[in-house]
Amino acid sequence: DAGVTQSPTHLIKTRGQQVTLRCSPKSGHDTVSWYQQALGQGPQFIFQYYEEEERQRGNFPDRFSGHQFPNYSSELNVNALLLGDSALYLCASSFIQGDGDEKLFFGSGTQLSVL
Amino acid sequence: DAKTTQPNSMESNEEEPVHLPCNHSTISGTDYIHWYRQLPSQGPEYVIHGLTSNVNNRMASLAIAEDRKSSTLILHRATLRDAAVYYCILTPLYTGANSKLTFGKGITLSVRP
């Protein structure tokens, strides 16, 4: 059973460019969340997608957007890249059980470098 | 959201038990206590979670204080593979809340051979 898979693993972009990161959730999971992890810090929640809609959002600007497809896979888009967007981007999936007792399964992340 | 406080780092010897503390004095009655760990060059990994009672699974045990203002993650026999950053996280009890985890800096566990 494949876990959470993310692509690409590494990416180098230039300031002002746009980037798309992709995530396939663990089999049987219906919810995808995205996190940003700067070097030496804990991950920060960007947003959560469930039933193809953004359900919760962290403190990130509108430059960060996402999408969830009918097969539950997801994309994270970042426009007008800034140097400060350089980070490890993590995707996590879970299955909504309705009791708040979900566990998150994380991928290994995409390392984005903005030059 | 209620906050957690953890030491910055701890050291342990291989094959000895490890007790990782977490303080959460402002926890509400419906907050779950979660522990995740992050090994080098990997995404975080779920370890254990609980609400009021102590919990055991194949990876670890979670001891929750009677007043719920602190908890301890117990690794019964540390291995070199347990060297990681361990995060103690509180989540409110509502559907989907556990997708929005608030990570602090965590505690870095080093394991000596």
Q: What pLDDT, on the 0 to 100 scale, is given for residue B91?
A: 86
Q: What is the pLDDT of residue A101?
A: 67
- Region of A80 on the Ramachandran plot (φ > 0 left; ψ -120 to 50 alpha; else beta): left
**Is A54 a residue whose pLDDT tops 90?**
yes
Nearest to A31 among B91, B94, B96 (CB): B96
Q: Under an 8 A CB cutoff, do B99 and A102 touch? A: yes
Tens digit of each residue's pLDDT (9 = 90 or more) over B73-105: 999 999 999 999 999 999 887 656 667 888 999
- Edge-first strand order for the sheet with B55-56 is B18-23, B70-75, B61-64, B55-56
Mean pLDDT, to the nearest integer, of B33-39?
A: 95
- What per-residue confidence (pLDDT) applies to B35? 96
Helices (H), A1-87: none
Residues of B in contact with A96 (CB under 8 A): 95-96
| pLDDT single digits (tens) A8-49 | 999 999 999 999 999 999 999 999 999 999 999 999 999 999
| Facing residue for B101 by CB, picked from A50, A99, A104 | A104
Q: How far apart are CA A6 and CA A106, in angstroms?
A: 10
The predicted model gives A41-68 an average pLDDT of 95
Question: Residue B52 in 3-state DSSP?
Answer: coil
pLDDT at B93: 73
